[in-house]
């Protein structure tokens, strides 16, 4: 390479004593065995950790994989990722990476040509290049922006409002019609309310002709302060932690929260949407096939945020109708004849009813109404919401607890031997869950141990703050026998 004298009067660069050469010297210095071992161990560790991370991508069971869409909404999002976003990013990644390597290799100075006074040609400004690398990203971002914004509108699409008489629980007993579900987040579990009679989610609680809440007269959703416990329509079906839906149908969701902001995310069915107290966000999801689809709260919401999961079970239309029929039944009231269950029922009334609802037709709690307002008469067999001893104002509804497979924010499964993703299991069998009756005929077994442990000391298993009315308290006074009785009672709630 030609020597260029112009630069010879520039100061020569010197190496900082702490920089690469110093490090190199240290590395080359004679080492004791232990320091060598240390170095090897951390290298090995880094290698193993890296490999584990890489291999985790090959896991068979990836219930939270966004790239395995199982419904139209999730598929739509996936179609944005590929070819659009990942495609464009991929091309840029390859161009930049290999471009950098190619230039470095091509422009490198061979040791024999090395001349410390020789600097590369200095370039200042290149109008064409600058225009190019400003315009090209702008064009790419605009393209991605167009498909993404279109996607936002696409995912907002809801079903048309059903015509009269086309509902899940029609007066004539038919089950045609679409389904709206309200999703309510609270610390640290999910409630699902099904608007099965299609009269909306809210009702005129005090009978003054005005409906509380966002659907109320003259109301702008965002302006109205509303108490969800008062406003919700009590004819609706209430379940906790496991949302059961018919496969192949779009389910419209209304999302809200009773305490802090949570985020609802079942990745194989749709993207994320925040649940915000005092607001209603619309969302939807649809599962192509029967099966279980899990999700995770994705907005930090306090102590047990990481233990606030979701479970959606899609059933065939027929199975779903059967499930719904069953859910609409009142819970059985135990009789004294069955001593264990009866004892459990008594314990439940004494210890648990201040928070949990079991709709067995014997409840007559009224909503917390203002002074001077008469609550409407209760139809026999209906249950009213009441303010429970909790900040969120509600604990999981246990009316059909034994027909669900998960509890406590879907972190535990209370049935042994059941996996909806198992090819041999018909998700419809979720309906036929029954307690182990002693004969070995393939019943799913209620996991009594896990339930007893939970009832005795829930905060020990899931971080909660019962002293602050957040979460379930522990019950140190309950004996082993009491716990058996309580579980015997819970097992009848099918």
With binding defined as CB under 6 A, does residue 390 bind ligand HEC?
Answer: yes
With binding defined as CB under 5 A, does residue 464 bind Cu ion?
Answer: no
With binding defined as CB under 6 A, does residue 408 bind ligand HEC?
Answer: yes
Q: Which of 291, 236, 307, 255 is nearest to 421 (CA)?
A: 291
Q: How far apart are CA 72 and CA 248, in angstroms?
A: 9
With binding defined as CB under 6 A, does residue 386 bind ligand HEC?
Answer: no
With binding defined as CB under 5 A, does residue 301 bind Cu ion?
Answer: yes
With binding defined as CB under 6 A, does residue 356 bind ligand HEC?
Answer: yes
The contact pattern for ligand HEC, residues 428-457, with x = CB under 6 A and - = no contact, is ---------------------------x--
Q: Dmax of the chain from CA atoms?
A: 108
The contact pattern for ligand HEC, residues 253-292, with x = CB under 6 A and - = no contact, is ----------------------------------------
What DSSP state is assigned to residue 199?
A: S
DSSP 406-467: EETTTTEE-EET--TTSTT--GGGGGG-----SS-SSPPEE-HHHHHHHHHBHHHHS--BGG
With binding defined as CB under 6 A, does residue 237 bind ligand HEC?
Answer: no
Cβ atoms of 421 and 292 within 8 Å: the answer is yes
- Which of Cu ion, ligand HEC, none has residue 182 at its interface (CB below 5 to 8 Å by kind)? none
With binding defined as CB under 6 A, does residue 355 bind ligand HEC?
Answer: yes
With binding defined as CB under 6 A, does residue 486 bind ligand HEC?
Answer: yes
Which range in 103-111, 208-216, 385-393, 433-441 contacts ligand HEC by CB under 6 A? 385-393
Binding ligand HEC by CB under 6 A: which of 179, 240, 269, 446?
240
The contact pattern for ligand HEC, residues 97-136, with x = CB under 6 A and - = no contact, is ----------------------------------------
For 148: left if phi > 0, alpha if psi spans -120 to 50, otherwise beta; the answer is: alpha
- Which of Cu ion, ligand HEC, none has residue 42 at its interface (CB below 5 to 8 Å by kind)? none
With binding defined as CB under 6 A, does residue 407 bind ligand HEC?
Answer: yes
* N residues, the chain: 494
Question: Smaller CB distance to ligand HEC: residue 75 or 453?
Answer: 453
- Give, in order, the Cα–Cα distances in Å from 336 to each of 339, 363, 436, 437: 6, 19, 22, 20
Binding ligand HEC by CB under 6 A: which of 418, 471, 491, 493?
471
Q: How far apart are CA 313 and CA 426, in angstroms?
A: 11
Q: Quote the tokens at residue 49.
A: 């950790």
With binding defined as CB under 5 A, does residue 184 bind Cu ion?
Answer: no
Query: By CB under 6 A, what part of segment 287-316 binds ligand HEC?
Result: 304
Binding Cu ion by CB under 5 A: which of 70, 168, 193, 262?
262
- Which of ligand HEC, Cu ion, none has residue 405 at its interface (CB below 5 to 8 Å by kind)? none
Cβ atoms of 263 and 257 within 8 Å: the answer is no
For 458: left if phi > 0, alpha if psi spans -120 to 50, otherwise beta; the answer is: alpha
Binding ligand HEC by CB under 6 A: which of 473, 474, 484, 492?
473
Q: How far apart are CA 122 and CA 114, in angstroms?
A: 18
- Give, in order, the Cα–Cα distances in Å from 396 to each of 146, 158, 240, 345: 42, 28, 5, 17
What DSSP state is assigned to residue 244?
A: E
Cβ atoms of 468 and 391 within 8 Å: the answer is yes
Binding ligand HEC by CB under 6 A: which of 215, 241, 257, 263?
241
Rg (CA), the chain: 31
Which range in 36-44, 201-209, 301-309, 471-479 contacts Cu ion by CB under 5 A? 301-309
Question: Smaller CB distance to ligand HEC: residue 212 or 430?
Answer: 430
Q: How far apart are CA 326 and CA 403, in angstroms?
A: 9
Interface contacts to Cu ion, rule CB under 5 A: 262, 297, 301, 308
Interface contacts to ligand HEC, rule CB under 6 A: 188-189, 240-241, 304, 348, 351-352, 354-356, 388-390, 395-396, 407-409, 455, 462, 471-473, 475, 486, 490
């Amino acid at each position: 390479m030609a020597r260029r004298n112009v630069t010879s009067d520039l100061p020569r660069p010197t190496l900082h004593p702490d920089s690469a050469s110093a490090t190199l010297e240290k590395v080359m210095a004679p080492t004791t065995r232990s320091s060598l071992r240390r170095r090897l161990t951390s290298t090995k560790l880094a290698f193993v950790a890296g490999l584990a991370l890489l291999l985790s991508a090959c896991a068979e069971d990836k219930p939270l994989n966004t790239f395995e869409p199982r419904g139209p909404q999730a598929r739509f999002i996936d179609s944005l990722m590929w070819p659009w976003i990942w495609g464009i990013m991929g091309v840029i990644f390859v161009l930049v990476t290999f471009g950098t390597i190619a230039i470095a290799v091509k422009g490198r100075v061979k040791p024999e040509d090395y001349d410390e006074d020789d600097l590369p040609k200095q370039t200042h400004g290149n109008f064409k290049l600058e225009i190019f690398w400003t315009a090209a990203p702008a064009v790419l971002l605009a393209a991605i922006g167009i498909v993404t914004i279109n996607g936002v509108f696409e995912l907002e699409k809801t079903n048309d409002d059903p015509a009269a008489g086309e509902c899940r629980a029609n007066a004539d007993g038919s089950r045609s019609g679409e389904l709206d579900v309200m999703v309510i987040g609270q610390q640290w579990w999910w409630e699902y309310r099904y608007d099965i009679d299609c009269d909306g989610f809210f009702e005129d609680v005090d009978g003054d002709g005005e409906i509380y809440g966002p659907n109320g007269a003259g109301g702008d959703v965002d302006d109205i302060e509303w108490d969800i416990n008062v406003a919700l329509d009590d004819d609706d079906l209430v379940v906790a932690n496991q949302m059961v839906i018919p496969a192949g149908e779009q389910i419209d969701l209304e999302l809200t929260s009773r305490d802090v902001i949570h985020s609802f995310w079942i990745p194989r069915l749709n993207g994320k949407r925040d649940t915000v107290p005092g607001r209603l966000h619309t969302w939807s999801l649809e599962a192509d096939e029967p099966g279980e689809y899990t999700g995770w709260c994705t907005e930090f919401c306090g102590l047990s945020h990481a233990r606030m999961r979701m479970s959606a079970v899609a059933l065939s239309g027929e199975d779903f109708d059967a499930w719904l029929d069953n859910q609409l039944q009142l819970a059985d009231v135990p009789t004294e004849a069955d001593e264990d269950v009866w004892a459990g029922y008594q314990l439940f009334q004494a210890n648990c009813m201040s928070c949990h609802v079991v709709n067995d037709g014997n409840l007559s709690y009224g909503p917390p109404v203002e002074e001077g307002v008469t609550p409407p008469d209760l139809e026999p067999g209906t249950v009213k919401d009441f303010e429970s001893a909790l900040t969120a104002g509600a604990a999981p509804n246990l009316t059909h607890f034994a027909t669900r497979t998960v509890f406590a924010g879907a972190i535990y499964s209370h049935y042994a031997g059941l996996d909806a993703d198992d090819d041999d299991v018909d998700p419809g069998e979720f309906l036929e869950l029954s307690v182990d009756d002693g004969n070995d005929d393939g019943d799913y077994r209620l996991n009594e141990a896990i339930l007893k442990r939970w009832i005795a000391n829930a905060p020990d298993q899931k971080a909660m703050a019962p002293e602050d009315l957040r979460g379930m308290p522990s019950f140190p006074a309950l004996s082993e026998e009491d716990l058996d009785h309580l579980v015997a009672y819970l097992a009848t709630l099918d």
